[in-house]
Amino acid sequence: MPIFEKILVANRGEIAVRVIRTARRLGIGTVAVYCDADRGALHVEYADEAVNIGPPPASSSYLVIDHILDACRETGADAVHPGYGFLSERTEFAAALKEAGITFIGPNPQAIAAMGDKIESKRLAAAAGVSTIPGHAGAVASEEEAIAVATDVGFPVMLKASAGGGGKGMRIARSADDVAEGFASSQSEARSSFGDDRILIERFVESPRHVEIQVLGDKYGNLIHLGERECSIQRRNQKIIEEAPSPAVDEGVRAEMGGQAVALARAVGYDSAGTVEFIMDPDRNFYFLEMNTRLQVEHPVTELVTGIDLVEQMIRVAAGEKLSLRQDDISLKGWAVESRVYAEDPHRGFLPSIGRLERYRPPAEGETDGNTVRIDGGVGEGSEISIYFDPLIAKLITRGRDRIAAIDMMQGALDRYLIDGIAHNIPFLSALMDHRRWREGRLSTAFIDEEYPDGYSAPDPEGDVATRLAIVAVSIERARRSRLRSMPGRMNGEGAFGRRDWGVRIGERHVALAITEADATAPGHFTIARRGEGETAEPSTVASDWKSGDPLWVGTIGGVSLIVQVRQATAGVRLSWRGFDVVARAMTPRIADLDALMPPKSGGDADRVLRCPMPGLVISILVEPGQTVSAGAPLAVVEAMKMENILRAERNLIVASVNVAPGDVLAVDEIIMEFSGEEAPD
């Protein structure tokens, strides 16, 4: 007999699909809920039943407790799994379900209340003997009080929403001016995301790691921890890459940190899956950050190294079963890495992107020789990425025998991950996997700010990378010409298929190549060498069976395996590989010489206008026509996917006109304001 008859999943996207998957395996019926914008979403299709709960945004649908209760009554669901976000940490939701006789698959309301308030949770943690960060004991009510408290605590400080998580309502302030600028935004984000605008202030620990402990408890007082996760690769306090275990944690630190996490969970009578988050300084001192009384986004890395399905454990515990696991049963096998695939443009400061997934082809899931590829996704080809919700598309998780093996697995999986129709962060994730500091495990939450201080831009291929991509371009052109040559009615000349010398433009760079040997029956199999300065490099053997229309060029060059994404471009092909993204064109040497003389394209009107970098809602306009602004000054605030984005002047400017007003909904690249042709004096 199933543990429950029917579980309603009070969430959307990948986490809804994830919960439904485990419920199905346990033989439990499932109910999805959806807003109007999610009518065709994957979680709706995947569940046994689905109920519409209102229009977007979340405040009119996924956050309305009565709508969820009505859906339970309509479908006869006897349990609710909240996923993460939305109502997952709302005490009143768990209490309302209990009153209605419906089981909440999560901790008891008292534990949620105790840990959901960051101010109260910090007091409880200190009482339980958990290391805590120095800071102010209560909420601050005004900008003036915030400045006074921050000055007393000592800069730098963290402004943090007392409710919720996920990086919403968080700002680092290094001065009183930063506090003045960040306090209102933190309050606004907190109010919008959690309905609670209380802000606390605590000391910001410089160059910390973010390390968290997964705990699991039942209703009989049994509590264990499942080791740690490292979540230090963050942007705007939003995690991007997570791993388990942490490269900075040894057995001794794991035991101490895990012991404190269990002690805190025991102090509040915790009885489900939850996470106790810590920050760790460079000397491996750690301090309590917060406890999340729900399933974490990054839970799959723990599942892969422990072999434990956390959703299943939550369901069984909620049904009244005792934990079948003891602390001695827990061991960590191998290493797991998770990359969050976001609908955002890394070349535009990681601003959100919306639209339809014209092509969505994730890598194949499965396990081979102990290496695992897993995808927790909530979209499919044709899905619409909406402005109303978090930009997470999917989570890509890999497991290997050790950390480098897991990273290499991730790199290969990212190479195969195809998304078209929207901007996404796969190029950035792919480049990061090759980053020396990341691979060495020298991490902190400041990693992205330190390594990409000017934001991310696709690197310019040079050296071996430029040569390899140029060879791929030649291979593609040979295959294309071979196909044309085989078509009926065409002259059977050698054309490009028999050409020996090639000139290839890779972005703004030109590479000269010469084929030294070729298989007349297989255009993707040949030997080729780079030429230059009167010399020819050692030739490389190329082997690929790429055919026109294939989205991936899979092959070897000089014995090195490559998986390159191929897209058509106006003049040539667009090649994407490990963070490199260039248009390549294979030509005769003469045409390549002429191509090198072409002048670069003009930048257009980029210096004279401020365009909206993502679809969003105008929150405020901070300047007026005729006003002189300095480089770095805020110009406007635009909200997209629950995050407020401050748009700043890139140089000294004079505002000529403002074309929009607060409350306007803008499309990407819509002009917000225009500037005069003159640059303002310093």
Instruction: Give residue-wise pLDDT tens across range 279-298.
Output: 999 999 999 999 999 999 99
What domains does the chain contain, in order, with CATH numbers?
Answer: 6-105 (3.40.50.20), 108-132+208-333 (3.30.470.20), 134-203 (3.30.1490.20), 335-448 (3.30.470.20), 463-595 (3.30.700.30), 609-675 (2.40.50.100)
Q: Are strands 392-400 and 355-356 parallel, antiparallel or unpaired?
A: unpaired
For helices 13-25 and 310-318, angle between their N-to-C axes, nearest 10 degrees: 70
Percent of the chain with pLDDT over 70: 95
Of 397-401, 464-468, 631-635, the least confident = 631-635
CA nearest 586: which of 678, 650, 494, 510?
A: 510
pLDDT for 666 equals 87
pLDDT of res. 489:
63
User: Residue 355's pLDDT is what?
Assistant: 86
pLDDT, tens only, 323-366: 999 999 999 999 999 999 999 988 878 888 888 999 999 999 99
Positive or negative, the Cα torsion across 440, 444, 447, 448? positive
Weakest mean pLDDT among 411-420, 593-602, 670-679: 593-602
- DSSP annotation of 495 reads G
HSE (side-chain half, CA atoms, 13 Å) at 468: 23
Respond yes or no: is residue 321 known to be catalytic. Answer: no
Mean pLDDT across the stretch 655-678? Answer: 89
- The pLDDT of 540-549, averaged and rounded, is 95
Which amino acid is residue 424, in one-letter code? H
What order do you get walking across the sheet with 29-34 strand by strand? 49-52, 29-34, 6-9, 79-81, 103-104
Q: What is the pLDDT of residues 89-124, one digit of tens each?
A: 999 999 999 999 999 999 999 999 999 887 889 899
pLDDT in tens, 216-237: 999 999 999 999 999 999 988 8
pLDDT band at 135 (very low <50, low <70, confident <90, very high): confident
Which entry of 202, 228, 290, 644 is annotated as an active-site residue?
290
pLDDT for 605-638, tens place per residue? 656 899 998 788 899 999 999 999 998 899 999 8
Q: What is the DSSP letter of 1?
A: -
- For the cut 80, the answer to whether the pLDDT of residue 57 exceeds it is yes
User: Could you read off the pLDDT of 436-453 as tens digits, one per residue?
Assistant: 999 999 999 999 999 998
Quick one: pLDDT band at residue 162, thresholds 50, 70, 90?
Answer: confident
Beta bridge partners of 638: 618, 645
Among 456-460, 530-534, 560-564, which stretch is predicted with the lowest mean pLDDT?
A: 530-534
Q: Specify whether the CB–CB gap between 323 and 222 falls below 8 A.
A: yes
| pLDDT of amino acid 678 | 62
pLDDT of res. 482: 86
Task: Report pLDDT for 534.
Answer: 66
Cα distance between residue 288 and residue 276, in whole Å: 8
pLDDT at residue 494 tops 60: no
Q: Which residues of 21-52 are buried (b: 16+ CB within 10 A; e: fewer)?
A: ebbeeeebbbbbbbbebbeebbbbebbebbbe
